[in-house]
């Protein structure tokens, strides 16, 4: 099976067990090498000491050679002088150790006798004689191989333990992922308010769950906004449709003269007009949301732009006998998309005319802010906007005074469009207004 098909739990377990087994193997091999070296070294020193003792006894007290086995425990040796055998122990002869005799001067070697015993054998040579000695290493060998057996059995045991422990641990460590997956499976568009469980917010899974939860919060907000937008849009669309229907129904109830019919058609056209503006605004915001309206940057002279927008709407101000004044004293330049900015300014100025009572005054001026940024201000002497509404006034369909705004034909989208138009030009809108003290909207744009 390819490792990609294994679960993370299985992969973690295998890695854990594999690495642990490797460590145990290396450790066991190290122990064996060390113990083996120590055994061989001990044996060689033992043979070396025996040879020194035999050499001394042979040269100083040759009669004592027989007593060496009983008194010093040196039971395996042989002495040759001028090619003739001078002395060999019984054990040496029994094990036939002469066959194992290494070349003189060579390091000691291990040799296996016919009786199955192993011996460590070494020889030294004088001018006319040679002495060879051996020690039985069988019991040490047995102990060593027993150790090999124990360690060899321990490795699979350790591997088994590592697999079981690793599987258990991986299960515990990964359990938050399972809980997150179970919860995530339950979350639908209707239950976006629910959140994934966060065990420990400091660990990796906790951070992952927190990031998912933040994403869910944003999705929740977007869904909520979308739902509100759809509900508000339907409501706004229904109002003019209902008005047209009732006007039409009343007109059909009884025959009317020509003038009355003209009035009916006129008021229906007014509603159609309102509908058209609403649909245009909705389309505008939808395009803005989808990113279809891409601003193009160029250097724009703001006083000229403000004058142009004011001239366009002057007829509305004149209708209400309002004084609309554009301060053309300064020359202010900004880098922005003139068409999009124009749309934003148009909405602000249109609002100023709409909400300022007849005979009021509206001032439009382009100027640099205290920090040197280009800006356009629209100031009116209208009813003002209470501070409580400032935070939400740029939201879609939000009206500070619903009754008054609806009467004036507003759907609560003008400031939302203005806000988008300015933000799309990397600028911001500031509002300074108090109830019954007029309003000042300031568009602040990036400079050149
Ligand atoms: P509307 O289409 O209702 O005018 P806007 O988004 O343009 O929607 O404005 C939102 C609300 O802000 C309006 O309903 C109105 O209450 C308030 N408003 C906007 N501009 C002004 C202004 N110049 N003076 C007073 N109130 C304003």
Q: Could you tell which of 415, 421, 430 is best to mutate to test the pocket of ligand 1, judged by most ligand atoms within 8 Å of the CB?
A: 415
Q: What is the pLDDT of residue 290?
A: 83
Extract the runs of DSSP E, i.e. beta strands, from 66-206: 77-81, 84-88, 109-112, 118-125, 129-136
DSSP result, 375-406: EEEEEE-S----HHHHTTTTSTT--SSHHHHH
CA of 408 relative to ligand 1 center, distance in Å? 10
Q: Tens of pLDDT along 332-346?
A: 999 999 999 999 999
- Asked if residues 95 and 113 have their Cβ atoms less than 8 Å apart, the reply is yes
CA of 385 relative to ligand 1 center, distance in Å? 8
Q: What is residue 136's three-state secondary structure? A: strand
Q: Is the pLDDT of residue 129 over 70?
A: yes
Q: What is the pLDDT of residue 112?
A: 87
Q: What is the pLDDT of residue 215?
A: 95
CA of 127 relative to ligand 1 center, distance in Å? 124
CA of 395 relative to ligand 1 center, distance in Å? 11
CA of 447 relative to ligand 1 center, distance in Å? 28
The share of the chain scoring above pLDDT 90, in percent, equals 64
Query: What is the rounded distance in angstroms from the CA atom of residue 46 to the CA atom of residue 40?
Result: 10
Q: What is the mean pLDDT of the chain?
A: 90
pLDDT mean over 165-176 = 92
| Cβ neighbours of 2 (radius 10 Å) | 5
Q: Is the pLDDT of residue 286 over 90?
A: no
Q: Is the pLDDT of residue 25 over 90?
A: yes
CA of 33 relative to ligand 1 center, distance in Å? 90
Q: Tens of pLDDT along 303-343?
A: 999 999 999 999 999 999 999 999 988 899 999 999 999 99
Q: Which of 91-105, 129-143, 199-213 has the lowest mean pLDDT?
A: 91-105
Locate the ligand 1 atom nearest the alpha carbon of residue 399 and give its number. 14
pLDDT mean over 226-247 = 90
* Closest residue by CA, ligand 1 atom 17: 400
The share of the chain scoring above pLDDT 70, in percent, equals 96
Closest CA to 366 of 426, 418, 302: 302
* Closest residue by CA, ligand 1 atom 20: 351
Q: Is the pLDDT of residue 418 over 90?
A: yes
Query: What is the rounded distance in angstroms from the CA atom of residue 101 to the CA atom of residue 322?
Result: 130
Q: Tens of pLDDT along 389-399?
A: 999 999 998 88
Q: What is the pLDDT of residue 103?
A: 58
Q: What is the pLDDT of residue 104?
A: 55
Q: For residue 40, is it left (φ>0), alpha (ψ between -120 and 50) or beta?
A: alpha
Q: Which domains does the chain have, with CATH numbers?
A: 3-143 (3.30.450), 204-287 (1.10.287.130), 297-444 (3.30.565.10)
Q: Tens of pLDDT along 64-99?
A: 888 887 777 788 999 999 889 889 898 888 888 877
Higher pLDDT, 106 or 270: 270
What's this model's pTM, rounded to 2 decimal places?
0.62
Pairing mode of beta strands 361-368, 323-327: parallel
Query: What is the rounded distance in angstroms from the CA atom of residue 174 to the CA atom of residue 166?
Result: 12
Contact residues for 160 (Cβ-Cβ < 8 A; gap 6+)? none
Locate the ligand 1 atom nearest the alpha carbon of residue 401 and give its number. 16
- Asked if residues 264 and 252 have their Cβ atoms less than 8 Å apart, the reply is no
Q: What is the pLDDT of residue 244?
A: 93
Ligand 1 interacting residues, C-beta cut-off 6 A: 351-352, 355, 380, 382-383, 385, 393, 398-401, 405, 410-416, 439
Query: What is the rounded distance in angstroms from the CA atom of residue 101 to the CA atom of residue 233?
Result: 109
CA of 310 relative to ligand 1 center, distance in Å? 18
| Cβ neighbours of 219 (radius 10 Å) | 13
| Burial class of 145 by CB neighbour count within 10 A (0 to 12, 13 to 18, 19+) | exposed
Q: What is the pLDDT of residue 293?
A: 78
Locate the ligand 1 atom nearest the alpha carbon of residue 416 and give its number. 6
**Confidence category of residue 407, pLDDT binned at 50, 70, 90:** low
Span between the terminal Cα atoms of the chain, in Å: 63
Q: What is the pLDDT of residue 403?
A: 67
* Closest residue by CA, ligand 1 atom 11: 399
Locate the ligand 1 atom nearest the alpha carbon of residue 383 and give its number. 25
* Closest residue by CA, ligand 1 atom 19: 351
Structure tokens at 431: 């509002």
Q: What is the pLDDT of residue 440?
A: 97
pLDDT mean over 258-271 = 92
* Closest residue by CA, ligand 1 atom 2: 410
CA of 438 relative to ligand 1 center, distance in Å? 12
Query: What is the rounded distance in angstroms from the CA atom of residue 87 to the CA atom of residue 85?
Result: 6
Closest CA to 88 of 115, 123, 116: 123
CA of 25 relative to ligand 1 center, distance in Å? 80
* Closest residue by CA, ligand 1 atom 14: 399
Q: What is the pLDDT of residue 15?
A: 94
CA of 347 relative to ligand 1 center, distance in Å? 9
Q: What is the pLDDT of residue 65?
A: 84
Q: What is the pLDDT of residue 430?
A: 96
Structure tokens at 206: 């906790």
* Token pair 């554009």: residue: 326
**Rounded alpha-carbon distances, angstroms, from residue 351 to 340, 364, 374, 429:** 17, 13, 22, 14
Q: Is the pLDDT of residue 225 over 90?
A: no
Query: What is the rounded distance in angstroms from the CA atom of residue 138 to the CA atom of residue 239?
Result: 108
Locate the ligand 1 atom nearest the alpha carbon of residue 380 and give its number. 23
Q: Is the pLDDT of residue 448 over 90?
A: no
* Closest residue by CA, ligand 1 atom 23: 352
Structure tokens at 423: 């933000």
Q: What is the pLDDT of residue 4?
A: 60
Q: Tens of pLDDT along 427-445?
A: 999 999 988 899 999 999 9
CA of 348 relative to ligand 1 center, distance in Å? 9
Q: What is the pLDDT of residue 314?
A: 96
């Amino acid at each position: 099976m390819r490792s990609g098909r294994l679960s993370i739990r299985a992969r973690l377990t295998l890695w854990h067990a594999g690495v642990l087994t490797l460590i145990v193997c290396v450790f066991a091999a190290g122990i064996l090498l060390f113990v083996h070296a120590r055994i061989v070294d001990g044996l060689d020193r033992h043979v070396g000491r025996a040879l020194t003792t035999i050499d001394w006894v042979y040269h100083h007290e040759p009669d004592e050679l027989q007593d060496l086995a009983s008194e010093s425990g040196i039971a395996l040796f042989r002495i040759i002088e001028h090619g003739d055998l001078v002395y060999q122990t019984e054990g040496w002869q029994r094990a036939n150790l002469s066959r194992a005799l290494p070349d003189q001067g060579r390091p000691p070697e291990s040799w296996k006798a016919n009786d199955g015993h192993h011996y460590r054998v070494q020889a030294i040579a004088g001018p006319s004689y040679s002495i060879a000695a051996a020690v039985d290493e069988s019991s040490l060998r047995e102990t060593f191989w027993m150790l090999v057996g124990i360690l060899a059995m321990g490795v699979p045991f350790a591997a088994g333990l590592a697999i079981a422990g690793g599987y258990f641990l991986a299960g515990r460590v990964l359990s938050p992922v399972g809980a997150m997956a179970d919860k995530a499976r339950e979350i639908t568009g209707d239950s976006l308010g629910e959140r994934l469980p966060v065990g420990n917010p400091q660990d990796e899974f906790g951070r992952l769950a927190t990031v998912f939860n933040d994403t869910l919060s944003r999705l929740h907000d977007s869904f909520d906004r979308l739902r509100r937008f759809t509900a508000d849009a339907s409501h706004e669309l229904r109002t003019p449709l209902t008005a047209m229907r009732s006007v039409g129904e009343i007109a059909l109830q009884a025959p009317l003269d020509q003038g009355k019919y003209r009035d009916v058609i006129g008021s229906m056209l007014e509603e159609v007009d309102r509908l058209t503006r609403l649909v245009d605004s909705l389309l505008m915001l939808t395009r803005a949301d989808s990113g279809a309206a891409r601003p193009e940057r160029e250097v724009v002279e703001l006083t000229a732009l403000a004058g142009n927008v004011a001239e366009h709407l002057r007829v509305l101000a004149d209708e209400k006998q309002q004084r609309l004044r554009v301060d053309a004293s300064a020359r202010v330049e900004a880098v922005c998309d003139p068409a999009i900015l124009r749309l934003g300014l148009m909405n602000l100025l249109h609002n100023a005319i709409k909400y300022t009572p007849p005979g009021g005054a509206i001032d439009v001026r382009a100027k640099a802010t205290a920090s040197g940024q280009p800006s356009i201000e629209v100031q009116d002497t209208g009813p003002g906007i209470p501070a409580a509404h400032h935070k939400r006034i740029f939201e879609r369909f939000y009206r500070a005074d619903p009754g008054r705004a609806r009467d004036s034909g507003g759907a609560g989208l003008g400031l939302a469009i203005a806000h988008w138009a300015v933000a799309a030009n990397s600028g911001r809108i500031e509002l300074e207004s108090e109830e019954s003290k007029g309003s000042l909207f300031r568009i602040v744009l990036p400079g050149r």
